[in-house]
Copies of this chain bind each other. A is one copy, B any other.
Amino acid sequence: MYSIGVVAKKVGIKVPTLRYYEEAGLIPAPDRSLGKQRRYSDVDLERLTFIKHARQLGFSLASIAGLIELGEDATRTCDEIHALAESHLSHVRAKLALLKDLEQELDRIVTSCSSGHIDGCHVIESLAHHEWCESDHEPGASEPLRDKF
């Protein structure tokens, strides 16, 4: 049985985040000591490790909850889980493509302005009207770069 601080160190999730996960229903409420402090079991630890890894891989808490539910219900096929992971992968790939373009563009902007000339900054100019944003990646999307896998 581990206290919340020990678990936090072991798993690499901060204490308030652990409480948050509990409240969010990602983990069952752990046992308590006589004085009402949380005591985590090894099973809890395992699930938290799972959550940690999934978060590192960019899954949303909602996706993780889904994954756990799928995993616990033995009647589900591997296919469902596989599908979730695959859809996530495609999101990651889309984001990757966007970031690559972004890197190129930023690099272009930065290097074009590497020596401090006075009349008009290229960075500002480039941001005021460059072509990258409208040329590529269907115009309607408009969404900046945010994680919402």
Contacts and interface: CB of A to CB of B under 8 A. Distances in A.
Contacts of A86: 110
Copies, count: 2
Contacts of A79: 116
Interface in A89-115: 89, 92-93, 95-96, 99-100, 102-103, 105-107, 109-110, 113-114
Given A67-B124, A82-B113, A89-B106, A133 B96 contact: no
Chain A interface size, under 10 / 10 to 19 / 20 to 34 / 35 or more: 35 or more
Interface stretch (A18-26, A28-36, A55-63): A55-63
Interface of A: 12-13, 46, 49-50, 52-58, 67, 70-71, 77-79, 81-82, 84-86, 88-89, 92-93, 95-96, 99-100, 102-103, 105-107, 109-110, 113-114, 116-118, 121-124, 127-130, 132-133, 139, 142, 144-147
Contacts of A70: 124
5 closest Cβ pairs, A-B complex: A78-B121, A55-B144, A89-B106, A71-B124, A58-B145
A53 B128 contact: yes
